[in-house]
Amino acid sequence: MTEPKSYKWFLDHLSPFEGHMHGIDTIVFSKQTQFQQVEILDTKSYGRCLVLDGKMQSSEVDEFIYHEALVHPAMLTHPHPEKVFIVGGGEGATLREILRHKTVTRVLMVDIDQEVVESCKTHLPQMHQGAFDDSRAEVRYLDARKYLEETNETYDIIIIDISEPVEEGPAYLLYTREFYQLVMERLGRDGIISLQAGTTSASNLLNFSAIYQTLKAVFPVVSPYQASVPSFGLPWGFALASKHVDPRTLDTQEIDQRIARRIQGELRFYDGETHLGQFNLPKQIRLQMQKQERIIEDNYPLFTYH
């Protein structure tokens, strides 16, 4: 072996029985905030990364996959998205991708943890790329659920970009039927939401399939999809839900045309062919989603890493 091995490692505990190890060079930032443990690490294989409560959120090398997959299917399925709401959104890359859409006039990002956002602003400029300074963008540091309960405003698109539902983390009440109901009520006529929905690993489909069924209990149209974000250590699921529009009705050509017409700059991950790839899920995932009966509710929440 000619190359040196790493002596310093970040251990991402995917479950009590499974982990992914990342060789690290630098611990750029590490702090226990009021809500969670925040870490910004320079890894050898994935560049600078954001880690919350010990779980990889975004890496310099492949965050474009996660954020393009999370944002553009919803945005492009909508006929003309102007007002967008982000639940969470920490490092500002979701905001960045939304702002690339020329139709957008206003984005409100509500993240509970100001320290996460501030530390990303400082240490992860490659992720936000100045998005926080865009005049169309506003960030508030509040409980997004409480904010949505108290506002009367509606949005074309609501993107839920939060960490996984862990027992003492800030996110688990943003995965329930009641929350999705609230979110739907804050959508405009052609409204769409999208969210990250946990791993699609064959050994642990509970979370992904229960989120699917919970969304189905609220929304007329639910379109689950999948993308490989290698730094996560496991394949990853997403879901898009809407009042009536369905991304699966758009063909490759239509996606490519909408990208050309509506988005500034070049996308790296998402295009018509990628769209086709990610919405056509493997058979066993589709079957398990259909068979799932669990609905996640405020008084019957679901926790990962259990």
Active site residues: 161
Tell me if 119 contacts a second copy by CB under 8 A: no
Site for a second copy in 121-160 (CB under 8 A): none
Tell me if 37 contacts a second copy by CB under 8 A: yes
One symbol per residue from 232 to 261: x for binding a second copy (CB under 8 A), - otherwise; what is it? Answer: -xxx--------------------------
- Report the residue from 79, 153, 202, 244 that binds a second copy according to the rule CB under 8 A: 202
Tell me if 10 contacts a second copy by CB under 8 A: yes
Tell me if 179 contacts a second copy by CB under 8 A: no
Tell me if 302 contacts a second copy by CB under 8 A: no
- Report the residue from 150, 152, 260, 283 that binds a second copy according to the rule CB under 8 A: 283
CA–CA distance, 192 with 73 (Å, rounded to integer): 10
CA–CA distance, 168 with 237 (Å, rounded to integer): 23
Strands 55-59 and 47-52: antiparallel
Give least dist CB 207 to a second copy, A: 13
Cα R_g (the chain), whole angstroms: 18
Tell me if 17 contacts a second copy by CB under 8 A: yes
CA distances (Å), 223 to each of 135, 237, 243, 296, in order?
32, 11, 12, 18
- Report the residue from 123, 136, 243, 286 that binds a second copy according to the rule CB under 8 A: 286
Tell me if 301 contacts a second copy by CB under 8 A: no
Return the bridge partners of 226, or none: 237
Q: Say how many residues touch a second copy, by CB under 8 A.
A: 74
CA–CA distance, 49 with 43 (Å, rounded to integer): 7
Q: Which stretch binds a second copy (CB under 8 A): 95-103, 135-143, 189-197, 262-270?
A: 262-270
Tell me if 2 contacts a second copy by CB under 8 A: yes
3 state DSSP class of 82? coil
Closer of 191 and 224 to a second copy (Cβ): 224
List, as one string, the DSSP characters of 96-133: HHHHTBTT--EEEEE-S-HHHHHHHHHH-HHHHTTGGG
Task: Indicate the Cα dihedral angle 245, 171, 21, 212, nearest 10°.
Answer: -30
HEC per residue, 222-252: EEEEEECCHHHCCCEEEEEEECCCCHHHCCH
H-run or E-run covering 23: strand 18-32
- Report the residue from 276, 294, 295, 297 that binds a second copy according to the rule CB under 8 A: 276
Give least dist CB 244 to a second copy, A: 23
Q: Are 214 and 195 in contact (CB under 8 A)?
A: no
Q: To which residue do tokens 């190359």 refer? A: 3
Tell me if 206 contacts a second copy by CB under 8 A: no
- Report the residue from 194, 226, 242, 304 that binds a second copy according to the rule CB under 8 A: 226
Site for a second copy in 74-103 (CB under 8 A): none
Q: Which stretch binds a second copy (CB under 8 A): 46-54, 101-109, 120-128, 176-184?
A: 46-54
Closer of 15 and 154 to a second copy (Cβ): 15
Closer of 63 and 156 to a second copy (Cβ): 63
CA–CA distance, 33 with 50 (Å, rounded to integer): 14
Q: Which stretch binds a second copy (CB under 8 A): 130-138, 145-153, 189-197, 278-286?
A: 278-286
Tell me if 277 contacts a second copy by CB under 8 A: yes
